[in-house]
Structure 1
Amino acid sequence: MNYRHIYHAGNIGDVLKHAVLANILMYLQKKEGAYRVLDTHAGVGLYDLTSEKAQKTGEWQQGVGKVLEQIDEAPEGVKQALAPWLETVGNLNPGGGVQFYPGSPEIACMLARKQDRLTLTELHPEDFEELKNNYGGDKKVKVIALDAWLALGSFLPPKERRGVVLIDPAYEVEDEFDRLADGIIRGWKRWQTGIFAIWFPVKKFRAVRQLIATLEEAGIRNTIKIELSAGVVSDDAAMKASGMIVINPPWTLTKDMNTALPWLCKTLTQGKNAAWNVEQVIPE
């Protein structure tokens, strides 16, 4: 439990994760009924990119920083596909630039309507205290110090019966993919109509393939995989590639990611083999 997202906020992994999350939330708002967001690894929710910790790695400069530098020149379809996410960034930085970067709780909170609700769980004690300070006073939000895998059994299905579960582990422990598969399956069995969005680093290809196979064997259907890679340029620890597995994805998600990812891939490239991909990995 050593992971602190401040070192990685706004990087290429966040670009993909948050563009996907914002797209899902906009889809859910096509209906008037309330929805619930369960963020199982919430972090602190809001990040100051001028802080010493964020500056130590500077990963955001190769992520959201590049996007903001070039978005004005992007095709109109790309601007529209990324608008829900980028508007949350812009609202936090009215003077321009990007001092403050919204994590998934902040994005979900900013985009939520008055009837929508959020449940944020975080186990790291320091991050939980900061998360509670940021959102504990918001009546739309529940902030709970709880293990993510317990949260999937405790808070599903939500009373709203509509919504999304965002699962974003640190992948620090050896059996994380096994725990992930078990948690997703337990959560899905409780809420088979919910949208599940799972972020993963593109490192352990066999583990990702096995995860998808395990989900399919459990009976899960209609699942897509989205990947974005800046290419491999060094062996340093900075994030270069990540993906999202989305169960019960909105139809708008595939369309918008197929529009946005070619531009994001070109904009964020750091070397050879930069690539993107959207594919149906489990049929409907």
Structure 2
Amino acid sequence: MLAYRHAFHAGNHADVLKHIVLMRVLRYLNQKDKPYRLVDTHAGAGGYSLEGQYAQKKNEYVEGIGRLWEKEKSGEELPEAVADYLAAVRQFNPDGKLTQYPGSPAFAQMLLRPQDQLRLFELHNTDHRILASYVGDAKGVQVFNADGFDGLKGQLPPPSRRGAVLMDPSYEGHHDYGRVIASLREALLRFAEGVYMVWYPQVTKLEAAQLPRRLEALAPKGFLHVRLTVQPLDSQGFGLAGSGMFILNPPYTLHDEMAALLPWLVEALGQYDGANYLIEQRAA
């Protein structure tokens, strides 16, 4: 959606889950020297001010990164994956105050090595300009002011035959759900061995409820599905109760990492007694 600005939601509980998963996948890929390509189909602006008017409108980051930031400041012992994630957020806030939040491209740039490639798609003109300015002329990075669903097929397969894709559209309308499936189906035909990370919102839309099962049907080589539910819907049944990450061809280490981490995240980010998590896996 061209009207969508992620700055309103930067650093919320959904970003916490998405970016921790992204970091674990990239850490795994970094274990081999062979280069890989990461494609971010909906890259956003690259980074966000938590003191700006958008983030301040709903203060969603307070119940997301804000909670984890305070836990670290209190000296609480953190799970390794959370400590790693917070170290990246601190790197984005060198003065020690939580005023900026890195988007997915920023997390990626912190982890990718000189031999790796980053391909970023952003259709919103303003966010694209901010993103292009942020990444500049960084080696191995290309930024496209284009539709990431359409652009993905031109990036696959990577020359090294190693790669990952992050797909997290706004889902503000109904069309994104179908486009996720269509885009992934074509991507898997081109690059069946890639790691595909799909974020989705936990909202009261039939398409959102059906998406994990539709993604399952695309995953003959295995999948990992994790979901974090942290807050109740409002009195009319609206709101973002939580979010999920569906990973096709996940690293073999990811299930155990997330199984250990999700109960801690429920405790850390849960805003009501019904907060919970889900983890499902089908091995290759």
TM-score range, shorter chain: over 0.9
Partner in structure 2 of residue 150 of structure 1: 150
CA distance in 1, matches of 2:105, 2:27: 15
For residues 162-177 of structure 1, the aligned pairs below 5 Å read 162-177=162-177
> How far did 1:151 drift?
1.5
Partner in structure 2 of residue 41 of structure 1: 42
Partner in structure 1 of residue 159 of structure 2: 159
> How far did 1:116 drift?
1.1
Percent identity of paired positions between Structure 1 and Structure 2? 38
Unaligned runs of 5+ residues in structure 1 are none
- Give the paired residue count: 281
CA deviation map 1:22-79 (0-9, x unaligned): 0000000110111111000000111111112111111000000001111355545x1x
Identify the range of structure 1 (65-74 vs 1-10) with the bigger mean alpha-carbon deviation.
65-74
The alignment status of 1:21 with 2:25, answered yes or no, reads no
Partner in structure 2 of residue 227 of structure 1: 227
After TM superposition, the score normalised by the length of structure 1 is 0.92
Query: Which one scores higher on RCO, CA 8 angstroms, separation ≥ 6?
Result: 1
SS at match of 2:129: helix
Q: Is the 8 A contact 1:221 1:283 kept in 2?
A: yes
> How far did 1:93 drift?
1.6
CA distance in 2, matches of 1:2, 1:239: 18
Q: Is the 8 A contact 2:164 2:194 kept in 1?
A: yes
Partner in structure 1 of residue 271 of structure 2: 270
Q: Is the 8 A contact 1:228 1:277 kept in 2?
A: yes
The alignment status of 1:70 with 2:71, answered yes or no, reads yes
After TM superposition, the score normalised by the length of structure 2 is 0.92
Q: Is the 8 A contact 2:164 2:195 kept in 1?
A: yes
Question: What letter corresponds to residue 97 of structure 2 in structure 1?
Answer: G
> How far did 1:14 drift?
0.1
CA distance in 2, matches of 1:6, 1:29: 29
Partner in structure 2 of residue 55 of structure 1: 56
Unaligned runs of 5+ residues in structure 2 are none
SS at match of 2:130: helix
SS at match of 1:251: coil
- In structure 2, the CA distance between the partners of 1:6 and 1:209, relative to structure 1 (3 Å rule), is closer
CA distance in 2, matches of 1:42, 1:178: 19
Identify the range of structure 1 (88-97 vs 47-56) with the bigger mean alpha-carbon deviation.
88-97
Q: Is the 8 A contact 1:43 1:128 kept in 2?
A: yes
Q: Is the 8 A contact 2:174 2:207 kept in 1?
A: no
Q: Is the 8 A contact 1:152 1:186 kept in 2?
A: no
Q: Superposition RMSD on alpha carbons, in Å? A: 1.9
